[in-house]
Structure 1
C-alpha cells in the first residue's frame, strides 16, 4: 500500500484558529504526510495564515466540516438550507485556497440533527439539491471533491451506510461527489468492512478516516484494519488514510462525541501510536 497517512486537527484543537498554526509543522514532525483541517466555522477559519504555514512546512492537506442546525441542508426551513449552501461554498473556497482536493465530513446534514424518524423523501430531495449546487460551485471554482461521511445512527438519520451514501452521490449526478468512510462509524453500521468498500468501489470512495471502534488508538480494538486495507487496495483507492480522534478535555466536542474516558495520555500520543500500528498493518497488505 502506498497511501499517505494523515492526522486530523481535532487531535489537538477543538476549533482550529490562528493560535493552532503550530499543529501544522507538528503533524509533519510526527511522521504524518497529510493534515485534515476540521473546519468548525468556515467564516472564521484563518485561511491565509494556514496557507503560509503549509507552504513553509511542505505537508499535504484535506478539509472536513460538520454542518450545524443553523446550516442544515435538510432543514424544512429554506432560509436554513440557504445558510447551508453559503457555508459549504465558503468551505470550498477554503479548499481552493489551500489546494486541498477533498472536503469531507457531515456536509449533507446538520451533525447530530435527529428527527426521531427515518429519513424522508423531502429531506432526501433537499439534501440532493443542496449538494448539487455545492458540487457545481466546486467545479466552477476549482477541483475539490465533496466526500459525504456516512456516520452512525446516533449522529444522523440521513446517511449511515456506504450503500446509502453511494445512492446519494448518484442522485446528485455530479462526478465530484463521493463517499467518506470512517471505521468508527462503519463498525456500528456495516455488515462487512470489505463489502462496504466494494460497494463504493474506486468510482465512489473518495476519503477514509482510520479510527478505532472506541475512538482510541487505532490498531488496539475491534476494527479489522487488515481486511479494510486489503479491500481499499483491491479497489485501487489511493487517497489518504487519516486518524481522527478527540481529547476528552474538549468539553463541547467530547460531549457531542460521547468521549467520557481517556484512551491515551494525550491526543498526540494516540495519533503517534496509531500511526505506528497502522503502518505495520499496511506493510502486510
Structure 2
C-alpha cells in the first residue's frame, strides 16, 4: 500500500491545534503531517522542535517534512543577488528545523520568491540557481534530507518537471531533487501518470503532492487519479505522498478524508 501524509495548513487555518491535526490525520489513515512552517508561528526557524515533534508523535504520528518554505516571507528571493544570502540563511535554518522534527523531505515551492530577473537567459538562470542551492543541497545531505525544488504552473522559474530535472543535474548533489505536484503538472504537462513513468525511474523525483488541477483534494475534481496511482505503483514509489489541497469541501477534515479515501479507492481498484 502507498503511504499518505497530510499537508497541515487547511486544518491550521481553521484554528485546529497541532495535536488535534495529528489525531485527525491518524484517524483518517495518514502516516504523518507535512508542515507549512508559517503554521508554527511568526518565527518558525526558532520554534521548539522537540515540543512540536513530541506533540505529533504522542498522537502516534510523525512529521514527514516541510513545505511552503518562503510563502510568508515577501522579502525573500532565490534569484535576486541582493537578497540571496539572507534567503539562503533562512532556508538553512529551516533545514535544521526539518531534521530536528524528524522530517525527511523539504519542498521548495514559493513561486513569488523566485521571479526571474529581467533579461536573464535560461542558461544564466540555471547557473545562478545551481550556485544558490549547492550549499543547501550539501546541508540537506549532511542531515539526511531530500531538498526538492517544486515545479509550479505559476512560477517564472522551474515551471515544469523537465526544468526541475535540469536544475537537479546542474546542482549535482544526491540530496537535491525535483518533485511532481499533481495540480501544477496537470495544468502544465498532463497526463501526470506519464510524468511519473518518465521521471521517477531516473531518480530525480524526491516527492509527490497529490491534488486536483482545480486545487482541491483528490476526489474533488475530475483528474484521473486512478492512472496516477497506477503509475506510482508501477514505478515502485515508496515514500509518503503529500495530500495538499488548497480549498475545502465542507471543511478541512472532510477535505482530508476525501483525498485519502479517493486514493485508497484507486489502489483498491488495481488489486
CA deviation after TM superposition for structure 1 residue 114, in Å: 6.1
Q: Deviations over 1:28-51 (max 9, x none)?
A: 123211210011353244422211
Partner of 2:77: 72
1:274 is matched with 259
Structure-2 residue corresponding to 1:134: 136
Q: Secondary structure at the match of 1:276?
A: helix
Structure 2 partner of 1:90? 93
Q: Please, what TM-score do these two structures have when normalized by structure 1?
A: 0.83
User: Of 5, 11, 28, which aligns to 1:30?
Assistant: 28
The alpha-carbon deviation at position 139 of structure 1 amounts to 2.0
Q: Tell me how far apart the structure 1 counterparts of residues 76 and 15 of structure 2 sit (CA, whole Å).
A: 19
* Matches of 1:75 and 1:280, distance apart in 2: 45
**Offset of residue 69 of structure 1:** 4.2
What per-residue deviation string (whole Å, max 9, x for no partner) do you get for residues 175-233 of structure 1?
A: 11112211110111014322311332241121111101112241242322111112222
The structure with the largest helix share of the pair is: 2
Deviation at 1:9, TM superposition (A): 0.7
CA RMSD in angstroms comes to 2.5
The structural deviation recorded for 1:236 is 1.6
Per the alignment, do residues 235 and 245 of structure 1 end up closer, same or farther by CA in structure 2, a change over 3 Å counting?
A: same
Structure-2 change in CA distance of 1:194 and 1:9 (3 Å): same
Structure 1: runs of 5+ lacking an equivalent: 248-262
The answer to whether the 8 Å contact 2:220/2:258 transfers is no
| Structure 2: runs of 5+ lacking an equivalent | none
C-alpha change, 1:161 and 1:206, in structure 2 (3 Å) is same
- State the distance in 1 between where 2:121 and 2:161 align: 15
CA distance in 2 between counterparts of 1:137 and 1:44 reads 18
The 5-angstrom pairing of residues 160-199 of structure 1 reads 160-199=159-198
Aligned pair partner of 1:124 in 116, 123, 126: 126
Name the CA distance, whole Å, in 2 between partners of 1:219 and 1:264. 10
In the TM superposition, residue 111 of structure 1 has moved relative to its aligned partner by 4.2
